Structures are given as C-alpha cells and as structure tokens.
C-alpha cells in the first residue's frame, strides 16, 4: 500500500498577464500539499522526483527525462475536447507548469467530448471553467488559465506551445514565431472521424533515445584480429543488435584495448556475429567479455509549419489507407478556407456544403506542390470529411490527444522519436455500412441543443438513442478502465432509459495510481476503485447509469455474473492487467456470444483487439509465447545478470518470510498436514520438515536480539559460506572435461564477502532481514541501525570449513537426472523432534505477502540488499532501488498518453459494435508504439472453420440440448448418447464436464451399467462432488466423437439446458 494521501488546500489567484495591450485576466490554480510529508519541492526546482506518484511513468521515461520535463512550461490553446485531453495527459505527466488558453465560451457541441464542462457551464469561458478541475490532477504542476489574445510577447515564456481548434492563419504566424525562437510547436485538430497532428521541434532537436528500449547486451565467445574484427556472441540467445548500432565492451580478457572503448558502430553479419573496427593491431583475444549497446544522441531538423504545408512528410497510421494522408492534407486546408469564407464549418450531411468543400479542395490541389499533389481527389473521403467536420467525438480526441501529449513530452525531454512532421488519421469505418449511411440526413444529424450534438452531427439521432440503451460490463477500473468510463460518459453509453454499466474492480486506490488513473484524487487513496470511478463519471455526465462492484471475475463469482446477467448484456469491455482474467472473460463472452473489446498497454506500446460473435476469432485463439524462465542452477549457483540476483532475492523472501510461517500454521491447525507432506514427491518431505524444525526449534527467536543474531548468521551462510563451498567444489582454475576453463562464458567466478558492520549495505541487509523475521514471529522490530550495530558486536559467527562430498549441480538437466535419496531415518527423527501441536497451543506465525509499493515495510529494503550483495559476490553491476523494484516487483511500465490513445481506438470500435457492423473488414485490431512512432491496423482474424460431415462450425457454435423434457423428466446418460447417434450420427467416445470424466468407452462395465440410466445432473454432482448452483441454467459438456466411418472428428461443445 502506498503512503497516505496528501492533504490539500487550494489557491486560486488572479495574476497579471505578460501582455502589454491585452489586460484580460489570467487565473492560476495550484492544488498543494499543506505539508508535503516527503518535503518535495515544486516542479522546476532542483528536487527529487516523487517516485511514489510517478513510479510507473518513470519506468517509461527514466529520471533524466522526467527532470527535463520538470523544467518545461507548456501552453495549450483551445479548451474543447481535444485541448482538455492533451492538457489532462500533460499535467499528469509532470511538467513544470501548464497554461490553458481559450477565448471561447462553452456550447452544447463541446459537451460531447469536453469532460470538464458541465451543462451549468454553458456560456462561460472554457478555460476558466476547466482550470480548477485540471489543477486537481497533479499537486506538483501549477495550472493557470489565460483568456487574452495570443501575442509574441506572451508566447515568449513557454518552451512548448500546443494549438488546438485554431485557424490556419493563427497556426502559421505562431508556427513561424516558435520556429524562429526555438519554441517547440505542436498543432492538433479533430473533425468528427478525422484527426490531424503536426510537430515542429526546431532546427536542432536532439533525440537522446529513439525507442526507449533497454540497451541490449550479450556475452562474447570470440573476437578475431582482422580488419574489420568480427565479434561472435555465445549462442545462448541472439544478440539482437542492428547495423548502425553503437556498442562498447567490458570484461574482455586478452584484447583489453576494447574494454571501456569509445562507442563504436557495428555491422551485423548474423544472429550471433557482427563486425567492429580494425582489430588487427590489438592483443590476442583470450576469453570472456560483455558487449553493450550505447544509445547515441541523434540530431533532427524540422521544417516550420509554413514550409511543411507545402512540402509535407507524413507518418503513416494505417497502411491500408496509404493514400489518405495527402488527400486529408488538402481536405483540412480546404476546411480552413471554407471556414474563413463562411465563418462556419460545413453543416452535417449538407450536400451543398460538401460540393463547396470539394470545389475548394480541387482548386488547392491544382496549385499544390508536386510533393503532395493528387492525380485524382478521393471525392467520397472528402465528402465524408465535410459531412462530419462539425462533429466532436470523445474517442477521436482521446486518440489524437494521447498522441499530441506524448509529442509534448518528447519536445520537453528528447526521449523517443518525434512525429516527422504530419500525422493524419481517420476512422470512416465507424459510419453505417453500405447503403445504411444514406439514412444519415441533414435533419437526423442537425443539432438538438443537447450534450451529444457533437456526436449526433456524425452518426445521427438514432445511434445516440441506441447508445443510451446499451448494457455493458466493464471489467477493471484502473488506467484503461478510467479512460473507458470517461469516453462512455461523453458518448452517452448507458445514459438513456434501460441502459446500464456494471464496473467491477476489487482493488483500492494507491498513490502510484494517481499518475494515470485520472478519475482518482489524492483524497481518494484507500477507497475502492470501482465506486470512486463510477462517482467521478457521474459528475461528468449525470445521466449515466452505472454501478460499481468489488468482485474478482472468475468461477467464484458466477453466482453474481450468472446467465441472467450475461444474457442481458450488449457487450463486455476488458480493462485488465493479467492474462488469466482476460482468458476467463474471453471464455464467458464466447459462451454467451457477446462482443468483447480487449486492450492493453506496456509503456508506450498499446494494442486493441475486437472480438465479434460468429465473425472473428476470440482473444484465446492466439497466445503470446511463455516468458523465458531462468534455469534453477543459474539462480542457485551461476548468476550472470542482475535479473538473476533479483529473482534469487525474491525467492529468498518467499522462502524465509512466507512459506515457513504458512507451513507452521498449517502444521498447528491442519491434522492432515503431516500425512499430506509425507506424500510429496522427491526430497520435498524432508525439506519441509527440516524447515519446520528450524522455524519451531533451532531458529525460533525469543527476542528482537535473537532476530538480529539470525539475520547476521543468514548473511554469513549466503554471502560467505555457500560461496566458499562452491569454490571448494569448483576452484577458480577448474577445467572442464574438454580442457576449457569451468569459470567462463555465462559462469562468473564468485568470491566470498566478509561482513563489515561499517558497510551500509551489510547493515541494511541485517536490519531488513531481522525486522521481517521478527514480524513473522510477532516480535517488535527496530529501525535504529546504531542499536542493531551494537547488537552485532556481540555476535560470534562459527568458523566455516568447506566440506568434501557436497554435490552441486551444474545444469538443470543434471539436477533432474539426480535421484533424490530420502533419508528415512532423518525423517523419523524430525517427526519425533518437532514440538507437538499441544505444546504449541496459542502459538502462530505471521506469513508476509510481498508488497513492493510500501517503502516503510522493509520488503524492498531486503530485496535490494539481498540482490546487490549477491551481485557483489559475482562481480555483477548492482541495481538501484528503482530498477530493482521494476524487475523484482514485475511492474508494468505505464503512462497516461498510451492509455488515452488506446482507449480512443477501443471506443471507435464500440461505435461499430453498437451499430452491429457485419463485415469483418469494418473492424480494426490495432497496435501502436508511440515512442517510434509506429501504428499498425489490421482486420481481425476470422474465426477458424472446422467440419464434421458437411456441417461447418467455429468456436461460436455449439450443440443445444434440452435436458428436461416437457413432462419434467431429465435425460439419462443412455438417452444422451442415443440422442447424438440418432440426431447427429455421432458416437460419443468420451464425455466430460470441466475436469470431471462422465463417460468413456473404456469405463469399467459395472460403473458404466450404473451410470447409463442415471440423469445427467446426478452423474455430474456425483463425479465432481459439487452441487449444481441454483443460478446455473445450463451445463457445458465436452465431447470426443467418432463419425459413422469410426474416425475421430472434432465437434463443438454441448450446452445442456437444465432450467
């Protein structure tokens, strides 16, 4: 659990503007800690970064980039839906300050996507109203509002200027000014189902890290003396380098000229080889060495907006629409001209206005430079642009706003590759399919003076009413969940009669959530996520029908999320952070035949998958390869990377502070514990009983001092004695049977450590280990390291002499082949030595569950110290607390920008689902990496087809069998088997329900005879030893069948209805 929420006070003040001629007021709101517990200074001063708040984002950007961001003042002009989305993401990101600018007042059309405007704000200045709501997002970022004219004097103070909803004339003069003054300039716009983004970061933008990936490293097996020299890496894994990468070397023996050399460019020759500089004059290579990638700064020159309009470069967002960017480049310019001529945008679905826009576009194309002049304009595309230009859609603003905010961060930090220089995006597939689009008329799309006018302009009133009636299940209320709910509220999903959203999440809000789960505030920390998120979106749109649950989805909650619940749904949206829950929800959606919207993020990467019944494959149809695990022997004896020592430290934590306490408690409370333990395979019974004996007898502390003694003794065992034993078995000069050095390649030769109470790392280990050990016994610990040091002075550590005959396995294969011989005599001895349950009456231990985000609980203190001490044993570079937490805590890096953009794409797919699009190519699965930037869209994969006889079927099909006859009698097993033979010409050879085998052709005759005339539900209850819940309407049976040729055939599952 993270530290307690910041107590807050608000300061709202009028401040003078820096403009001479414009005396319009500017407001600033800064939501502050009354007394920041961590003494954190405000952004813009030399200060530590609040890792508790920014931890997940820090794993995306890094400390250096965050510090650069904290010295950047950002102006965001235009507080309609797109502007507020960019502002929200930039404020969450943690820049020095944000100024929001708008001279316009809130109108009905704004409410379809501007989530910080409410109906009572109509007629008020958009920036002024948005200010206090944006300022609450991040206590460290002062936010101010400016309602005056933008002038050169005023713009001078900013490092980054973002324009939204501005005229081309304004964009051009501000773009030129910013280019000349070295101010980073971004222009973003959205028109209904179309989006535009432009970046100009000046003449000398330096990108320090183009992709944000961890630098690669590889172990070396050979380097030739040649021109150029060729480096061969160990064949354990491909090196992963690309030609043009820069590398440097360490730990090379022999050819030591390469160690710590200046970064040198490489040329890849193969998956394990690459060439470097001329090594012919270097010393001979002997052995070892590590090659590491070095990220080299890259300078990029940007053209100004004026120059770039004429000579555009495009980032492709959808390769299936490769010709759209140039067409839309003309289309957006035509819209600006239309607006200048008529002081308005084209009316929704107005044929006359669309004709006018086409005429303007044709004239522009005739004068266009050769770099983007089109042989033929795509009339349908430009008409669609005209038809929905007035539209203002929350999902489109979420996508473009997420991208634009990421570009702001790139501008501030030099981290990741910027968009060079234009990006256009459209989602015309969201419109009705085929001729149905003709039903959209001027009348149906005209404004109603309601909060959905911006959406009605694109889709008409009918879809709006349909959206209001939807019943949706949202699983998860974290970062993706918050963004989805905001979009749902703006779109009007479940905001009408009969509509409702159920959101479930069993987690409470933690401080680290606040950086990207934008519906939560510091005062919400410790509250339930689902309830808090539901209450927050009700403020955004009071019409939304939403209820928050705190249930984990899974078999345990199928009484809540039962047939009745799922059958009433129109669809499901996942906002989950683990694969198991995703796969479970996928199975439920397949069973109930409900559409599923699936998405996820990892740092700057994001993906969207849409699952449509009877049309696409499901989420579970394809899976990522399993994560590569670290071999046991590498962890135990031969680590060569910090990841190995951190995993070892996590295993230590579980093996010292969780498992022993759990085993002791089971020994005391569970009469069958001993019987169950003795049945465990291999040497496990002995290991468990030895650990029990240690916990209850030999290592059981009587006081705090005893815990310190134990920690010191354990330090000696792990970092000195065990290493000395390993070196006794395999001395530093040991050779293998082939004559090669044993300690070479991935095997690093260790050295034992000597305990020194003056060494802070040694003392930190003992303090953390002693406190955690004390906690498992319910003994009060101490943070007084000086007192701990005094206790350590009286500790006498017995002398250790390495033993002969100790077997240490060199590989996992050797470990598996070793037959575990059980010492029965020792087992019996331990059983007699263990205190009886009666002797332990009233005693219990307290197992500790690892929690990475609480800096006061000693968990990460132990992990960092344990890992870094082991790293010191093996001369592996240590890792700081921040990196250690990432690896040991298996943290998923996350940033608000990616989440916003991904959810924008999810909600564009939602429009299609609600309209019940039938064509698979109308839907889009998407993948993006905002760091590169890279986008890829593809139509979903169709559900694979199978066949038995002439019957085609997919995962969405099943046999429907009514188990209860009209007379009320239930089908017996015999009748069930006969039914399939008669109706489907299939002979069932095996029949199962879940993990229970109900029937098989090889079943003993007596058992078969008994079962054949029993009702199906009776057999299920008997075999599974579980009662069928009253909420269950149907059972699922899996079949193995033969056809009439006696061949095995694959068939769908059976839905056997019992109620």
Catalytic residues: 633
Q: What secondary structure letter does DSSP report for 702?
A: S
Handedness of CA 886, 889, 890, 896 (dihedral sign): negative
Whether a cis peptide bond, with omega within 30° of 0, leads into 115 is no
E runs forming strands in 52-119: 73-77, 97-101
Task: Give the number of C-alpha atoms closer than 13 A to the C-alpha of residue 655, restricted to the C-beta side.
Answer: 12
Residue 960 neighbours by CB distance under 10 Å: 11
How far apart (Å, rounded) are the C-alpha atoms in residues 733 and 816? 27
Helix (H, G, I), strand (E, B) or coil at 365: helix
E runs forming strands in 405-513: 422-426, 471-475, 500-504
Q: What is the DSSP string of 589-611?
A: HHHHT--EEEEEEETTEEEEEEE
Residue 945 neighbours by CB distance under 10 Å: 10
Residue 909 neighbours by CB distance under 10 Å: 29
Q: What secondary structure letter does DSSP report for 34?
A: S
Distance set, CA 817 to CA 1, 629, 762, 811, 824 (Å)? 43, 19, 37, 10, 21
Given phi > 0 = left and psi -120 to 50 = alpha, else beta, which region is 87?
alpha
Task: Give the number of C-alpha atoms closer than 13 A to the C-alpha of residue 662, restricted to the C-beta side.
Answer: 9
Name the helix (H) or strand (E) containing 999.
Answer: strand 996-1000
Q: What secondary structure letter does DSSP report for 35?
A: S
Burial class (CB in 10 A: 0-12, 13-18, 19+), 837: middle
How far apart (Å, rounded) are the C-alpha atoms in residues 864 and 859? 9
User: Alpha helix locations (H) across 985-1058?
Assistant: 1005-1012, 1016-1024
How far apart (Å, rounded) are the C-alpha atoms in residues 603 and 899? 9
Q: Nearest 5°: phi and psi at 1025? A: 60, 30
Q: What secondary structure letter does DSSP report for 498?
A: T
Contact 504, 553 (CB under 8 A): yes
Residue in this structure with the two tokens 């109906």, named with its chain if needed: 119
How far apart (Å, rounded) are the C-alpha atoms in residues 1037 and 1026? 16
User: Alpha helix locations (H) across 343-375?
Assistant: 351-367
How far apart (Å, rounded) are the C-alpha atoms in residues 271 and 236? 11
Residue 1026 neighbours by CB distance under 10 Å: 11
Helix (H, G, I), strand (E, B) or coil at 28: strand
Handedness of CA 645, 651, 652, 657 (dihedral sign): positive
CA nearest neighbour of 884 among 874, 903, 871, 902: 871
Helix (H, G, I), strand (E, B) or coil at 968: coil
How far apart (Å, rounded) are the C-alpha atoms in residues 362 and 501? 46
Helix (H, G, I), strand (E, B) or coil at 512: helix
Q: Are strands 471-475 and 571-574 parallel, antiparallel or unpaired?
A: parallel
Q: What secondary structure letter does DSSP report for 94?
A: T
Q: What is the DSSP string of 649-669?
A: HHHHHHHHHTHHHHHHHHHHH
How far apart (Å, rounded) are the C-alpha atoms in residues 25 and 542? 31
How far apart (Å, rounded) are the C-alpha atoms in residues 472 and 589? 12
């Amino acid at each position: 659990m993270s530290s307690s929420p910041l107590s807050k006070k608000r300061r709202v003040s009028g401040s003078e503007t820096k403009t001479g001629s414009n005396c319009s007021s500017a407001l600033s709101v800064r939501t502050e800690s009354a007394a920041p517990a961590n003494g954190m200074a405000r952004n813009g001063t030399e200060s530590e970064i609040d890792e508790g708040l920014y931890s997940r984002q820090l794993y995306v950007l890094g400390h250096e980039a965050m510090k650069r961001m904290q010295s950047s003042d950002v102006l965001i002009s235009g507080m309609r839906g797109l502007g507020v989305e960019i502002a929200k993401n930039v404020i969450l990101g943690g820049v020095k300050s944000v100024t929001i600018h708008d001279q316009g007042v809130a109108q009905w059309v704004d409410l379809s996507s501007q989530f910080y405007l409410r109906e009572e704000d109509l007629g008020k200045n958009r920036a002024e109203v948005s200010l206090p709501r944006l300022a609450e997002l991040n206590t460290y970022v002062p936010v101010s509002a400016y309602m005056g004219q933008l002038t050169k004097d005023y713009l001078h103070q900013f490092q980054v200027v973002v324009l939204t909803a501005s005229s081309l004339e304004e964009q051009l003069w501000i773009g030129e000014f910013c280019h000349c003054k070295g101010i980073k300039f971004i222009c973003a716009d959205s028109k209904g189902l179309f989006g535009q983004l432009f970046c100009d970061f000046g003449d000398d933008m330096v990108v320090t890290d183009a992709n944000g990936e961890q630098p690669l490293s590889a172990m070396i097996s050979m380097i030739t003396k040649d021109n150029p020299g060729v480096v061969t890496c160990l064949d354990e894994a491909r090196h992963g380098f690309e030609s043009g990468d820069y590398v440097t070397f360490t730990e090379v023996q022999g050819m030591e000229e390469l160690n710590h050399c200046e970064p040198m460019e490489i040329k890849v020759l193969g998956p394990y080889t690459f060439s470097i500089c001329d090594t012919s004059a270097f010393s001979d290579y002997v052995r070892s060495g590590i090659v590491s990638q070095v990220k080299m700064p890259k300078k990029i020159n940007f053209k100004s907006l004026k120059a770039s309009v004429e000579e555009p470069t495009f980032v492709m967002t959808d390769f299936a629409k490769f010709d759209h960017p140039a067409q839309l480049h003309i289309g957006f310019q035509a819209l600006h001209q239309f607006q200048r001529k008529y002081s308005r945008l084209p009316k929704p679905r107005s044929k006359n206005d669309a004709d006018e826009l086409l005429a303007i576009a044709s004239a522009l194309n005739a004068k266009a430079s050769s770099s983007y002049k089109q042989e033929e304009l795509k009339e349908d595309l430009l008409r669609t642009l005209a038809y929905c230009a007035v539209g203002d859609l929350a999902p489109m603003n979420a996508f473009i706003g997420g991208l634009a905010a990421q570009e702001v961060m790139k501008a501030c930090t030099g981290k990741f590759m910027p968009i060079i220089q234009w990006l256009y995006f459209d989602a015309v597939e969201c419109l009705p399919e085929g001729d149905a689009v003709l039903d959209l008329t001027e009348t149906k799309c005209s404004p109603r003076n309601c909060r959905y006018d911006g959406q009605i302009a694109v889709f008409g009133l009918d879809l709006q009413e349909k959206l209001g009636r939807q019943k949706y299940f949202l699983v998860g209320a974290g970062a993706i969940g918050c963004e989805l709910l905001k979009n749902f509220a703006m779109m009007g999903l479940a905001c009408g009669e009969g509509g409702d959203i159920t959101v479930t999440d069993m987690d409470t809000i933690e401080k680290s959530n606040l950086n990207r789960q934008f519906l939560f505030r510091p005062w919400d920390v410790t509250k339930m996520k689902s309830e808090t998120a539901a209450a927050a979106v009700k403020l955004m749109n009071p019409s939304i029908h939403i209820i928050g649950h705190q249930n984990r989805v899974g078999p345990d909650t199928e009484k809540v999320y039962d047939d009745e619940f799922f059958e009433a749904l129109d669809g499901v949206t996942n906002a989950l952070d683990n694969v198991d829950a995703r796969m479970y929800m996928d199975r439920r959606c397949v069973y109930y035949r409900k559409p599923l919207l699936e998405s996820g993020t990892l740092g700057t990467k994001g993906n969207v998958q849409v699952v449509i019944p009877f049309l696409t494959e499901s989420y579970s149809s394809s899976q990522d390869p399993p994560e590569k695990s670290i071999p046991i022997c590498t962890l135990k004896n031969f680590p060569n990377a910090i990841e190995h020592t951190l995993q070892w430290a996590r295993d230590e934590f579980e093996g010292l502070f969780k498992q022993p306490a759990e085993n002791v408690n089971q020994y005391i409370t569970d009469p069958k514990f001993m019987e169950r333990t003795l049945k465990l395979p291999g040497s496990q019974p002995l290991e468990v009983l030895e650990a029990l004996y240690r916990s209850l007898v030999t290592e059981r502390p009587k006081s705090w001092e005893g815990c310190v003694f134990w920690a010191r003794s354990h330090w000696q065992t792990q970092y000195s004695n065990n290493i000395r034993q390993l070196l006794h078995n395999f001395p530093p000069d040991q050779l293998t049977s082939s004559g090669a050095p044993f300690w070479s390649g991935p095997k690093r030769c260790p050295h034992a450590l000597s305990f020194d109470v003056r060494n802070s790392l040694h003392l930190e280990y003992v303090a953390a280990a002693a406190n955690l050990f004390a906690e498992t016994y319910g003994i009060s610990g101490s943070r007084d390291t000086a007192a701990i040091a005094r206790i350590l002075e009286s500790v006498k550590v017995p002398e250790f002499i390495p033993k002969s005959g100790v077997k240490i396995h060199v590989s996992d294969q050797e470990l598996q082949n070793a037959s575990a011989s059980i010492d029965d005599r020792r087992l019996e001895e331990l059983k007699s030595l263990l205190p009886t349950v009666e002797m332990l009456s009233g005693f219990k231990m307290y197992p500790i569950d690892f929690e990475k985000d609480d800096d006061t609980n000693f968990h990460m203190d132990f992990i960092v110290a344990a890992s870094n001490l082991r790293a010191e044993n093996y001369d592996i570079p240590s890792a700081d607390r921040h990196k250690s937490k990432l690896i040991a805590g298996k943290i998923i890096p996350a940033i608000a920008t990616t989440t916003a953009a991904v959810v924008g794409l999810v909600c564009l797919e939602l429009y299609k689902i609600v309209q019940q699009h039938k064509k698979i190519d109308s839907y889009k699965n998407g993948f993006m990496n905002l760091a590169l930037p890279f986008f890829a869209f593809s139509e979903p994969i169709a559900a694979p087809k199978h066949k038995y006889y002439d019957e085609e079927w997919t995962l969405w099909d099943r046999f429907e069998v009514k188990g209860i006859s009209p007379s009320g009698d239930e089908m017996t097993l015999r009748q069930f088997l006969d039914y399939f033979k008669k109706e489907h010409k299939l002979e069932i050879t095996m029949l199962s329900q879940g993990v229970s085998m109900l029937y098989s052709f090889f079943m003993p005759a007596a058992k078969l005879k008994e079962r054949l005339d029993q009702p199906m539900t009776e057999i299920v209850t008997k075999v599974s030893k579980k009662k069928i819940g009253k909420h269950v309407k149907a059972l699922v049976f899996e079949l193995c069948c033969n056809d009439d040729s006696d061949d095995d055939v694959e068939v769908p599952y059976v839905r056997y209805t019992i109620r």
